[in-house]
Amino acid sequence: MTSSIRFVFVLIVGCGRVGSSLARAMLSQGHEVSCLDEDPESHARLEVGLDGGWEDLGGQFTVGAGLETEALEAAGIERADAFIASTDGDNTNIVISQIAQRRYGVPTVIARILDPLRAEWYERQGMHTVCPTRVAIDMLESAVLEGSTRETPGPSSDPAEAA
């Protein structure tokens, strides 16, 4: 299918539901994945649904805060091709993304920002942002519009069916 798959080294800071799922997905596609999280317990979340241990499958996990340069370096930021800030704090994500970009020059930096207003502003400043709230708003809006134009909303009205 794909003529040339480029394998990357991705550092994910914030190993919650989003971070850990992304980490697993990227690892299974053959990429090198390193996760950084303050909470040692979040390591368990990485192994949900996996056949083996996270490290056995080639993953890397570091305990530390994204604001600590030592932790970032231990997690391999200096050789990262991509950096994803997906902690549960917008402010943390915005700050560490800028650190990844400006201090370490990571080529691809993506910040998850829940606050749509700030996501929009930082996007305009050149930051690559993903705003789940914005996505949810758009989806809900189109779901509502779609629903109200439909005659019979069946019990399992999956928006995907209409597509």
- Interacting residues toward other proteins by CB under 8 A: 67-69, 89-92, 94-95, 98-99, 102-103, 115, 117-118, 121, 125
What's the min distance (Å) between Cβ of 115 and other proteins?
6
Q: Are 127 and 109 in contact (CB under 8 A)?
A: yes
What's the min distance (Å) between Cβ of 96 and other proteins?
9
Name which of 26 and 94 has its Cβ closer to other proteins.
94
Name which of 60 and 101 has its Cβ closer to other proteins.
101
Burial 51-65 (b: 16+ CB within 10 A, else e): eeebeeeebbbbbbe
Name which of 21 and 98 has its Cβ closer to other proteins.
98
Partnered with residue 85 across adjacent β-strands are 13, 111
d(CA 144, CA 138): 10
Backbone angles phi, psi at 118, to 5 degrees: -75, -35
What's the min distance (Å) between Cβ of 98 and other proteins?
6
